[in-house]
Amino acid sequence: MATGTPSAVQGRCPGCSLQRRLRPDTSRCAWCSRSCPGCGETRSATADQCAACERRAAGRPACGPCARCGRRRILDAATQHCRPCHTRNPDTTLPPPTCEACGRPGQWIKGLCKSCYQRSARTVTARAHGWARRLTDVPLWWQDLAHHLATHRNPVYAGDVIARTARLLHHAPAPTPAALLSRAHDHDPQIAQALTDFFTTHGHLPPTPETDTEDLHAAARRQRRLDATPDPLRPAAQAFADHLLAQRAHATKHGLRPKQLRTAEVRLTTVRDLALHLHGQGTSTWSSVSTHDVEAFLARNPRRRAAHLAGLRQFFAHAHRTGLVLHDPTAPLDAPQHRGFRGPTLTLDHQRALYQRWTRNPDTHPHEAFIGLAALLHAATTTELRHLTDDAVDPDRRTLHFPGRPHPTPLDSATWTALRHCLDHRAETATTNPHILTTRRTTTTHAPAGPAHIRDSLAPVGLLPRILRSTRLLTLAHQLDIELLTASLGMSYSGVTPYLNPAHPADTH
């Protein structure tokens, strides 16, 4: 058998005291075997010395940790001190080089170690000063932007926003907030939200209503539904979408209650699905659609028959008025349904178990307890909970004014305690957001939390907020007068009527 180089053996390394494979030539592990014989630092696998010792042997100034201050600098060959320490009085004693933030030995720059310096706000300020020297026209709000990002955002993300904003300023026609935001939305939408929050909170731009943002998102959702409609049937769907928006604008202009944007999306979804069904059957014009075609489409999902038929009736009524079709194929169809409430509700035992969890369990998140109690005891909606601010709380009267309700709502002791816990939880984040329910994303802005946060807060109990609210409304509808209920909750008669005659009454009283 041929003999070769002896293989490594398992043992405890004398250098690092770890159980490793030891090299036979050094009796150490592979990492400790790469120690420089001159200074003990790690050397390259192909070199006999570390870079500092090689520079020292070649007569050049070595780069390494200073023997006096501990910083990694170019060292004097005789004293092994960096230049600042070499010019000082050698009799002066220096404190040990420790990080001012974490206290660990070793400083990298500015009295901090490398990891602490990268996480400090100094990086944002330094990057802002560096970009200010390169910009030809520095805006007056540049330093305010750097301070805002340093105090409201992660330093790594804030430094990136500074650099990308400076690049946008290089090509912006004027360094105004409006021009910069317009260019950011077109070329770098990822930083548009951070710039919008800064400009609105510092008074450079008027506050952007949330309705404007919702309109933009709703327009994008409508456009996606129109793009999914087959090309021969798309112009009629586009005209129907414009008709729905015109109806909404007309109602708003005359002081009526406009339909929600979600309603238009549901109607367009039904038209898109019908168009895909017809196009798959070979139909390319709306004028050739018959009652049999619509009935075949409705039979695909019997549970959604009433909702689909309502949208199709509205669509074909508009098509008939505009001359697109000669007759309404949905006229002979019907979808009988019970007008009472048919949603799920909770029994009394389930309500008691939830109340015990939200009032006596200290491990429950404050948001879960407040959202659950507000929906179960006061029939709060998701929109009302999202838009609650500090102005809605009255500590003297212990009331909470839900948005959209005509009068403040008196709170019971359990809900008031949960509200105080929410306020204390928000105070720990040191946020300037005035909303009571804040998330990790909204703590750095003034925007309300999204609807998903309200839903996800109740995920530990496996319930949706609307189930808790429906349970409370079903109870109040049978205990209070309908006029009193509509006046206290700000609801319409049509919204309360289904709860008077539920299809499947539950044990909620």
* pLDDT band per the 50, 70, 90 thresholds, residue 116: confident
Residue 507 has pLDDT above 70, yes or no: no
The CATH superfamily label for domain 348-499 reads Intergrase catalytic core (1.10.443.10)
Instruction: Give one word for 399, left, alpha or beta, with left for phi > 0 and alpha for psi -120 to 50.
Output: beta
Segment 324-342 mean pLDDT: 86
Cα dihedral across residues 160, 162, 168, 171: positive or negative: negative
pLDDT digits 0-9 by tens, 126-176: 889 988 888 888 888 898 898 888 888 888 888 889 999 998 888 776 678
What distance lies between CA 277 and its chain's CA centroid? 36
* pLDDT band per the 50, 70, 90 thresholds, residue 40: low
| Residue 93: predicted pLDDT | 57
For 358-397, b/e burial (b = at least 16 CB within 10 A) is: bbeeeebebbbbbbbbbbbbbbbbbebbbbbeeebbeeee
| Residue 88: predicted pLDDT | 66
- All CATH 1.10.443.10 domain ranges of the chain, comma separated, are 348-499
pLDDT digits 0-9 by tens, 65-102: 777 676 667 777 677 777 777 666 655 555 567 777 78
Helix (H, G, I), strand (E, B) or coil at 22: strand
Model pTM greater than 0.75?
A: no
pLDDT digits 0-9 by tens, 379-393: 999 999 999 999 999
- The end-to-end CA distance of the chain, in Å, is 90
Which are the contacts of 83, defined by CB distance < 8 A and separation ≥ 6? 73, 74, 76
358 vs 81 pLDDT, higher one: 358
Radius of gyration of the chain (CA): 34
Tokens in use for 64? 């390494």
